[in-house]
Each structure stands twice: as C-alpha cells, then as structure tokens.
Amino acid sequence: MRQQYARRSRVLAGALALFALAIVVQMTRIQNSPEADVFRQESENYAYEWRTFYPNRGEIYDRNGRLLAGEKIVYEIGVDLTVMTDAHAISYAVADALNLDYNQLMEVIQNPPEGISYIVLADYVDASEALYLQDLKKALNDQAPEGSVGGLTGLQFKSHPQRSYPENALGSNILGFVNREGKGYFGVEEKYDSLLAGNPVTVLVPTDPNKAFEIPHAPDGTTLILSINRDLQAAAEDILDTALGTYGARDGVIAVMDPQSGELLAIAVSRRMDLNQFWNYGAVYDSATEFNPVISKTYEPGSVIKILTMAAALDSNTVTPETTYLDTGSVLIGGVTIENWDKNPWGIQNMVGCLQHSLNVCMVHLSTQMGATTFYNYFDAFGFGHLTGVDLAWEAPGRLKVPGDEDWYPVDLGTNAFGQGVAVTPIQMMAAASSVANHGRMVIPHVLYAMVRDGRQYQVPEQFGATPISTQTADTLNNMLAVSLEDESSLALVPGYRVAGKTGTAQIPVNGIYDSEQTNTSFIGWGPVDDPQFMIYVWLERPTESPWGSETAAPVFSEMAQRTAVLLNIPPDWVRQKLVSK
Amino acid sequence: MNIPNVNFPNVNHLIHAYRVAPWRVQRQWIGNALLAVVVFAMVAALYLNVTSRTAIAGREIQDLTDAIASSQQVSSDMQTQLASLTSASAMEKRAREMGFRPVQPEELEYLVVPGYVAPEAVDLSSTIQPQLNALTIPPEYNQSLLDWMDERLVSRSIQ
C-alpha cells in the first residue's frame, strides 16, 4: 500500500516538475523570441520621455532697483472630464467669473475631441478670479450632501508664471513686451530675449512613477539692470504729455542721456501702451517705427544739425569762432537758392552769431568752404547713415546721401549742412552731439547698466565710439553754443546752470515738397557745460501753437533740465564751483 | 529495583535506524526547503522595503523641489505685487493725497556734508551660492538593486 502511494507521489511530482520545466522553457523561449525584442523595444520607448524645463525669465530693474518687469502667477482653468459631475454648473460658474460665453463653454465640455479627458477652458486667468472659483468649488463641496460631491467637481486650476509690468505703460517703449509664448518683442525684451529667457534644460525622465528622478535646476534667465531712472522717466513722460497739450503737437519725444558715459536715463515718447495688455499693440501703433521713435523713426532734423556742421568746420580749420562772413540772406548752390529762416540778410556775422541766429546761408557757406569730401567725411564719422549700436530692438540707420549716390545732387551739400535732405533718428543726433559735450569723443548710447546671473552682478563696461573732432574743437564749440543761448536769452536757459544747445525747426517734406506750414521742432542741449551730466533731446511733431523750435521745444528742454537736475541731485553751478574752490 | 540489562549494540542499531528513517530524511529536505524559502522571503522583504523607502525618499525630494519652485513663483509674484503698489504713479498719487507736491528747483538748498558719498546705482548681487545644474541625488536614492547590479556588471565587463 505504502509503495503504491510512493509511486503515485513520484508520478505526480514528476508531472509537476515537467509542468514547471515546461513553464520555464516557455518563459525562456518567449523571452528570447523575435517578438520579445519588439515588446522590449516598445517598453523602452515608453519607459522614459524627454521633458523640457523652462527657467524663470530674468527680471528687469531700473538703476535704483525698481522692478520694471517681473513675473506674476496666473492660472490655467480646465475640466477633468473623468470626474466631472455637472457640466452646467461648471459652465455657469466659469462663464460668470471670467465673463465668458456659457453656451460656448457647454459646447466645449459636452463635445470634447476623441480620447481627450482634460479640456482647458481658460488660461492666463488672474489670481483673484481663480481664487474666487476655487473658493466657490470648495464651498459647494462643503455644502454637498453626505456621500456626494459639489457641482464644480472636476474643475482644475494649474498655476504658472506670466510676465508682468508693475509700472504698466511707464517706459513701455524701452522695455518692449513678452507674448504668451515667451518671446520678447521690441525694446529690451527683444534685444536681450535670449539672455532674459535663459537656457531650457531637456532631460530624459522615467515614466514609471516609482522611479525617483530629480527635477533638474534650470538656471533662471539673466536679470537686467537698466541705466534708466524710473523717476526721471516718469517726469519726462509727464513733461512730454503736458508739452503736447500746450503746443498742440501731434507726437513727440524727450530723451535724456549721460553724455559722458552714453547711459540713457529716460526715453519718453508720446504713444505708450500698457504692457500688461500687449495685445492692444495694433490699436496704439500704426507701424513698428512708432513703438520707439527715438531709435526707429527717421526725420529731417533741421537746425540742430548745425552744431555738427560747425564742429566739422572748426575741426577742419575752415573757420574759427571769430571768422566773419557777409550774410546776404540767400545763396545759390546747385542751381537752387537757399534762404535764411526769416528770408532776411543778417550782414556781417561771426560764427557765434551764425549759430545764435541759426543762419542757413552761413551753413551753406561753411559746407561749400569745406568741400563735399571733407563735409561728408565728418558727417560719416558722426555716424549719420549708420546704426549707433544702442541696445534696443528696431534701431533705424537713417540715410545720408553722399556724392556718387544716384539721388545725391550738388544742392544737397548746402541743404544737408542745415539739416535738410538727411534722415536721422534722435538717438543718432544725441550720439553725434555727445562728441561736442564729451571733449570730442562720441559715446555709444545704451540702456543696459548691469546683468545679474547666479547671484553675481556684472557691470557693463563703458564703450565709446569714434572721436570725430578734437578736444579743442569740442570745448570751443561747447562754449560757443552756451554763449549763443545766453546772448539770445533763449527759453532753453536753465536757472542756476550753464547749458549749451541748439534749436531746430525743420520743414516736413510731403510728396517731395516741403510743407510750408507744418514743422518738426526740436532742441538738443546739455549741461552743466563745464561737466555735462545730462544731454536732453526734445522733438515735437507738427506743433500748432508755434512752428518754431525756439518757442516750443526750447522751453520744454528747460523744464526737463530743471527736473533732471533735481532728480539727479546736480547742484547749481555756483554750489559746485564753491565746492571745487574748497 | 532491577536495572535492565543494557545491550549497547542494540542501541547503536536503534540510533542508526532513527537517522536513516525515511520520514526523518523527508523532514530534513522539507526543513531545508523551508529555510531556503524563508531566506528568500527575507531577502525579498528587505529588498521591497529598501526599494519602497528609496522610492518614497525620491518622491519626497521631488515634492520638495516642486515646493521650492512654487515658493519661488510666489516670491516673484509678491515682489511684482509690491512693485505695483510702489509704482511711480501709485506713489505720486499717494503723495499728492497726503498733501505733498513736487519740489521746485529754487526751493532746494544744497548742503555740504563731509564724508558724504553719493549713492551708486543698485547692486543686486546675492550672497546665496548659485545652485549647480548637476544632479545631486545620490544613486542610492534613485537606483534599484537590479539597477545597481546591472551597473556593476556593466562596469565590470568594461574593465
């Protein structure tokens, strides 16, 4: 009996062992079959996925540490269709809170695309609105009967950062903006887009939730500190807005720069937009050049360019300040008669009188005395027709016609000397005039003061441009300009500060003919003359109260200079001289 | 009391019989098998325990990393809110409401303060050490035992 059981047991054990062996053999066979390789490859494809981590965009500060561009939290609001219980409640609540169309929301929720379990209802929702919906969802959940859920179950909130501009429209033309895809447009945001955006980090991430992986640290984008002074910018915009109303100008700009370093301190333009609503761009501007006319919009500058004609004449030893000439009121050049602004002769004038009375005939006299080659060599050295290199997007190079160009005529040698027939931007005028204020050396205008990366601040080194005129020429002309303003008791004078500068009144070419009534008025000046700390450029387009720069742009310069002196803590000349004498 | 007459050869025979008894051999086999099962179960339990703990630790690290990122977002948000509250227009409005007005140049008086140094532009340098981009979780916290063995085998085969 026992032997019988033993035999049965052995048979059973053998059968089981064979079965186990068969399983092992089958497992081994499956593991090594060609199909197994396919499955293995498939599983590896799904085991990991490439994921990109985007760094926070760098912030933008003014020179005093005031935040101009940062980030705020906004929300994406969506519905998880797998747990949603009441489409009507969700549609109604979201439509009511976010001012959306109820029927449209219902349509989206009830007819989702095939295979979709999560639908985005709204994105970039303000925190306050999202918080309201979150509170509502919680309240409905709390009030729901035991064993059931609230009507907003399935409504989900995902926070993410969005570019925000705390000063709204202030300095909008300098900053530019970032769209929802994170791309910078205009100004600093476009010029330094790659620096601000930082470098995204792409890593292979396991999809198995039980496999721990570390979220890589994507270093934040570089933070920028601008040379802009926020308070000065606000003052410039305030003065410009008032000036537009006072003089009936269509548009205008005021730019303030440190003429010794090229740091731009303020750039005010008349058309500004709230950067937090960048989608209104099309409603504010007709073209891209209007976003920041200081760097993008070219125009015939008129008499302000006489500073540079005189600089060229002095530097080439064509004249000295005491050189006289007989002003007959008109001069013929290239078959065209050029007249003074008042069409009157001014008799014998020296070079200070020439600047003081802004005589066109004198300028034609200077350019012809120099000759085209010398004159255009100087204007080329001043940077006309070239980019200044200002670190803002959309700079225009302007146009300087020179002998040999198809559209250059001999009369251009005369008209260019007093600012007609040459297209420049305000920033080009400032860069060129900085050679006079800065002992002959031009600066490269810029807005970037420093960069902060990984906790370290890197100062932007000083950069200078060409030296088109000698120190002696610059200092002589500096004094001539100051004297000419003082002698004519200009409205540009600044009480307590000696300033140098020049008005400009330029006719506007319309279809090739100069408009006899509308003008562009401007003034460029700097001070204090013995140690220039600010250079201000004012341009008013088509003022209706007066067509003259001396009556419109000059007083605006004076007001801006006074505010600049206060905000930059520049003591009056007598105080500084007293300090120096001690 | 009579003492039984002990026959030693018989005792040895009994002991031998006891040792080679089939049921005892079977028990030994069963015991060894059970021991192997227990050892295997212990190793498996240990492995499971260590693996689950490392997985939990990894998840906690991820959660903390998320929390840091979230805190940075909140910090940026609050900084922007603060900047809005102290914007040029907001400050001017508040100042005017409090009765202030812009100072006029003629109202200013400049005093000579010995040793005064005019403030330079802002310095936003931070004393916090920059975070390196390299992964900092040691492999013990994100590598399974099999991964570790695999890595050792691969490294050995390379050597």
And the tokens for A119? 């639908």
DSSP result, A116-166: --EEEEEEEEEHHHHHHHHHHHHHHHHHSPTT---TTTTEEEEEEEEEE-T
Instruction: Please answer yes or no on whether A213 and B88 come within 8 Å at the CB atom.
Output: no
DSSP conformational letter for A393: B
Give the mean pLDDT of A367-374. 96
The SS3 call for residue A468 is coil
Looking at residue A130, its pLDDT comes to 94
Smallest CA–CA distance from B107 into chain A, residue? A566
Phi, psi of A13 (to 5 degrees): -60, -40
A137 and A256 part of one domain: no
Q: Determine the longest span between alpha carbons in chain B, in angstroms.
A: 139
CB contacts, 8 Å: A572 with chain B: 110
Instruction: Please answer yes or no on whether A61 and B124 come within 8 Å at the CB atom.
Output: yes
Tokens 């206060």 correspond to what residue? A566
Residues within 8 A of B (CB atoms), A 269-328 only: none
Tokens 């639908």 correspond to what residue? A119
Give the mean pLDDT of B98-112. 88
Smallest CA–CA distance from A558 into chain B, residue? B105
Q: For residue A8, is it within any domain?
A: no
Looking at residue A280, its pLDDT comes to 93
Q: Which candidate from B59, B79, B110 shows the least CB-CB separation from A70?
A: B79
Indicate whether A499 pLDDT > 80: yes
Element containing residue A295 per DSSP (H, E): helix A293-296
Give the mean pLDDT of B132-141. 59
Higher pLDDT, A144 or A123: A123
And the tokens for A234? 């606000």
Q: Which candidate from B122, B131, B135 shows the least CB-CB separation from A61?
A: B122
Instruction: Please answer yes or no on whether B83 and A67 come within 8 Å at the CB atom.
Output: yes
- CA of B8, closest CA in chain A: separation in Å? 32
Indicate whether B129 pLDDT > 70: no
A156 and A271 part of one domain: no
- CA of B4, closest CA in chain A: separation in Å? 36
| Prior bond of A403 cis (ω within 30°) | no
And the tokens for A565? 């002196």
Q: Which range, A458-462, B60-64, B152-156, has the best average confidence (pLDDT)?
A: A458-462
Tell me the C-alpha distance between A581 and A579, whole Å. 5
Please say whether the beta carbons of A172 and A190 come within 8 A.
no
Please say whether the beta carbons of A386 and A468 come within 8 A.
no
Give the mean pLDDT of A517-541. 95
| Dihedral sign from CA coordinates of A434, A435, A440, A446 | positive
Question: Domain total for chain A?
Answer: 2
CB contacts, 8 Å: B72 with chain A: 56
Higher pLDDT, B55 or A321: A321
Looking at residue B17, its pLDDT comes to 81
Interface test with B, best of A61, A72, A199, A452 (most B CBs within 10 A): A72
- CA of B58, closest CA in chain A: separation in Å? 5
A268 and A361 part of one domain: yes
A156 and A237 part of one domain: no
Indicate whether B5 pLDDT > 60: no
Residue A61 sits at the chain B interface (C-beta within 8 Å): yes
Indicate whether A1 pLDDT > 90: no
Interface test with B, best of A10, A71, A562 (most B CBs within 10 A): A71
Q: For residue A537, is it within any domain?
A: yes
- CA of A101, closest CA in chain B: separation in Å? 29
Per-residue confidence band for B43, with pLDDT thresholds at 50, 70 and 90? very high
What are the residues whose beta carbons fall under 8 Å from the beta carbon of A526, sequence distance 6 or more?
A259, A433, A437, A499, A500, A501, A532, A534, A535, A536
Tell me the C-alpha distance between B32 and A336, whole Å. 120
Phi, psi of A503 (to 5 degrees): -85, 165
Indicate whether B52 pLDDT > 90: no
Tell me the C-alpha distance between B74 and A443, whole Å. 41
A418 and A554 part of one domain: yes
A252 and A367 part of one domain: yes
Q: Where are the domains of chain B?
A: 7-100
Q: For residue A104, is it within any domain?
A: yes
A427 and A542 part of one domain: yes
Indicate whether A307 pLDDT > 60: yes
Residue A562 sits at the chain B interface (C-beta within 8 Å): yes
Domain that holds residue A79: 72-164
Q: For residue A179, is it within any domain?
A: no
And the tokens for A115? 């295979």
A349 and A459 part of one domain: yes
- CA of A168, closest CA in chain B: separation in Å? 9
Phi, psi of A100 (to 5 degrees): -110, 170
Per-residue confidence band for B104, with pLDDT thresholds at 50, 70 and 90? confident
Q: Count Cβ atoms below 10 Å from residue A234 Cβ, excluding itself.
A: 22
Smallest CA–CA distance from B74 into chain A, residue? A73
Per-residue confidence band for B8, with pLDDT thresholds at 50, 70 and 90? low
Q: Which candidate from B62, B77, B105 shows the least CB-CB separation from A496?
A: B105
Q: Which candidate from A59, A210, A214 shows the least CB-CB separation from B61?
A: A214
Tell me the C-alpha distance between A454 and B126, whole Å. 8
Q: For residue A139, is it within any domain?
A: yes
The SS3 call for residue A553 is helix
Element containing residue A538 per DSSP (H, E): strand A534-541
Instruction: Please answer yes or no on whether A571 and B76 come within 8 Å at the CB atom.
Output: no
A430 and A526 part of one domain: yes
A145: CATH: 3.30.1390.10
Indicate whether A34 pLDDT > 70: yes
b/e map A197-210, b = 16+ CB within 10 Å: bbeebebebeeeee
Higher pLDDT, B155 or A105: A105
Instruction: Please answer yes or no on whether B110 and A571 come within 8 Å at the CB atom.
Output: yes
Instruction: Please answer yes or no on whether A159 and B55 come within 8 Å at the CB atom.
Output: no
Tell me the C-alpha distance between A510 and A341, whole Å. 19
Q: For residue A545, is it within any domain?
A: yes
Of the listed ranges A292-296, A497-501, B50-54, the one predicted with least confidence: B50-54
Measured CA distances, B145 to A241, B46, B52 (Å): 72, 11, 11
Mean of per-residue pLDDT scores for chain A: 92
3-state helix, strand, coil in chain B (%, to 5): 65, 0, 35
CB contacts, 8 Å: A166 with chain B: 80, 83-84, 87
A412 and A486 part of one domain: yes
Tell me the C-alpha distance between A380 and A377, whole Å. 5
And the tokens for A579? 């300090």
Q: Determine the longest span between alpha carbons in chain A, in angstroms.
A: 150
A529 and A385 part of one domain: yes
Name residue A333's amino acid. I
Indicate whether B157 pLDDT > 80: no
Among residues A123, A146, A164, the one where a domain terminates is A164
Looking at residue B9, its pLDDT comes to 64
CB contacts, 8 Å: A223 with chain B: 124
A113 and A256 part of one domain: no
- CA of B50, closest CA in chain A: separation in Å? 13
Give the mean pLDDT of A70-90. 92
- CA of B131, closest CA in chain A: separation in Å? 7
Dihedral angle at the C-alpha atoms of A175, A181, A183, A185, nearest 10 degrees?
A: -50
Q: For residue A453, is it within any domain?
A: yes
A334: CATH: 3.40.710.10
Higher pLDDT, B137 or A70: A70
Tokens 């101009």 correspond to what residue? A68
Q: For residue A316, is it within any domain?
A: yes
Give the mean pLDDT of A385-413. 95
* pLDDT digit string, tens, across residues A211-263: 666 667 778 899 999 999 999 999 999 999 999 999 999 999 999 999 999 99
CB contacts, 8 Å: B103 with chain A: 566
Per-residue confidence band for B62, with pLDDT thresholds at 50, 70 and 90? confident
Looking at residue B159, its pLDDT comes to 64
Cα Rg, chain A, nearest whole Å = 36
Residue B92, by phi and psi: left (phi above 0), alpha (psi -120 to 50) or beta? alpha
Per-residue confidence band for A578, with pLDDT thresholds at 50, 70 and 90? confident
ipTM confidence? 0.82
CB contacts, 8 Å: B144 with chain A: 211
Give the mean pLDDT of A35-50. 82
Instruction: Please answer yes or no on whether B125 and A457 come within 8 Å at the CB atom.
Output: yes
Instruction: Please answer yes or no on whether A63 and B121 come within 8 Å at the CB atom.
Output: yes
Smallest CA–CA distance from A6 into chain B, residue? B22
CB pairs < 8 Å spanning A and B: 137
Indicate whether A187 pLDDT > 60: yes
Phi, psi of A205 (to 5 degrees): -115, 130
